[in-house]
Amino acid sequence: MNARWLVATLAAVLVTAACSKKEAEPATAPEAAAPAAETQPAPAEAAAPAAEPVAAAGGAGATAYQTYCVTCHGASGKGDGVAAAGLNPKPADFSVGAFKYDANGNGVKGEVDDIKAIVHDGAAKHGGSPLMAPWPMLSADQLQAVAEYVRSLQTG
């Protein structure tokens, strides 16, 4: 029983850590202008590849997914993120279209509107697990983009 409690606590900590990620805030301009030589990146730095190639390929939806979803759902949406091992129930596997909810009530699970509702409200509001936390801070454009990106992860 203590092992289950430990796993549940660890899962809650991981989900909380993932939920508390903030997008990088823009840097403020320095009060005194720095000399041009100090502000130019070295040629090797300028040629470095992007840190998140998946985000670059999928635009705003991939960026939001990388920020808010990848910890549990994994980079390819298979429900195998780093926090997934400690979660019960396991996160949805988007690669096989394992959508559980028809949030808009039209009889079809996993439509973009359904995904937007689950992301915004959390799954508990729609009869699912509270482990799928709500993300009400996402704008309407971010919700649309991440929902479309999640749908694009389906491979079969």
Average pLDDT of span 111-121: 96
- pTM (global) more than 0.85: no
pLDDT at 6 over 90: no
Q: 29 in a domain, yes or no?
A: no
* Domain membership flag for residue 95: yes
- Is residue 75, in this structure, part of any structural domain at all? yes
Task: Kindly indicate the confidence band of residue 155, based on its pLDDT and cuts at 50, 70 and 90.
Answer: confident
The closest of 105, 75, 102 to 91, measured between CA atoms, is 75
- 145/98: higher pLDDT: 145
Segment 133-152 mean pLDDT: 95
Q: What is the CATH number of the domain that holds 16?
A: 1.10.760
How confident is residue 3, by pLDDT bands cut at 50, 70 and 90? low
* Residue 36 resides in a domain: no
77 lies in a domain?
yes
In a domain, 103, yes or no: yes
Domain assignment present for 135: yes
What does pLDDT average to over the chain?
Answer: 76
- What is the rounded distance in angstroms from the CA atom of residue 39 to the CA atom of residue 120? 40
Q: Which two tokens stand for residue 91?
A: 């996160």
Q: What are the phi and psi torsion angles at 76 (to 5°)?
A: -105, 10
In this structure, is residue 43 part of a structural domain? no
* Domain carrying residue 59: 2-20+52-152
Reference 17, options 72, 55, 54; nearest CA is 72
Number of domains within the chain? 1
- Mind listing the pLDDT tens digit for each residue in 15-45? 444 444 444 444 444 444 444 444 444 444 4
Separation CA 139–CA 128 (nearest Å): 23
pLDDT for the residue 140: 96
Q: Does pLDDT of 115 surpass 80? A: yes
pLDDT tens for residues 79-104? Answer: 999 999 999 999 999 999 889 999 99
